[in-house]
Amino acid sequence: MAMNIDLARHNMIEQQIRTWEVLDPTVLDVLATVRREDFVPVAHRRLAFADTMIPLNDNEVMMKPVVEGRMLQALAVRSHERILEIGTGSGYITACLSRMARAVTSVEIDTELSAAAGARLSASGIDNVELIVADACSTQWQPESQVDVVVLTGGVYQLPELMRNWVKPGGRLFAISGAHPVMDATIHQRVSQEQWRATVAFETDLPYLRGAEQPQRFDF
């Protein structure tokens, strides 16, 4: 029996996302209109609306829908803002952010994932996104200018300090950090040039971005 896509999307929002207290009407509207199934790899299309992470390659995943919803709500994106996303992945969160913000720059370390995401975004008629292939966790890459919002869509053991410099005063950075299996999803608000305020929005677990893993311990 073929899946009723519209009903499955409705159930995802009502039975998963809303029950996690995602109630912001803008976020719910975006999740209802951006076609998540178009961003899921064909091999896993049947899981498009399931309460599970979906593998993209050996390391990267699509977040659970509830995590995507809570992240978008915590970000409270405004229509005039410019966003820097670290970890394009499937392009789904990129698409959601593009509907909420003025413009999105998304950085992906994996060339094939970036190309596939670009094709999906283009097919969806999204034209306010710039895709970059680079290692954002290294010191070899820096954005051209500061932005209003930085979003990390993979985990980090510790937030790289260099990423704080990418945020304008008054802006914010979203990161899921810490050690498995319980990590903190935190909004880091840049109150002024030197002052920051961190607020933990929720707890979850997510694979690390490449280059941001927990250091290995060697016992002798």
Q: Please report the domains of the chain, with CATH numbers, ordered by start residue.
A: 5-204 (3.40.50.150)
- What would the pLDDT profile of 57-73 be if each residue is shown by its tens digit? 888 999 999 999 999 99
Q: Say if CB 207 and CB 60 are below 8 A apart.
A: yes
pLDDT band of 216, cuts 50, 70, 90? confident
Residue located via tokens 């053991």: 157
pLDDT of 220 over the 90 cut: no
Q: Which residues of 132-143 are buried (b: 16+ CB within 10 A; e: fewer)?
A: ebeebbeeeeeb
Contact 53, 180 (CB under 8 A): no
Give 90-147 pLDDT, tens digit per residue. 999 999 999 999 999 999 999 999 999 999 999 999 999 999 999 999 888 999 999 9
Element (H, E) at 65: helix 65-75
Region 167-173: mean pLDDT is 97
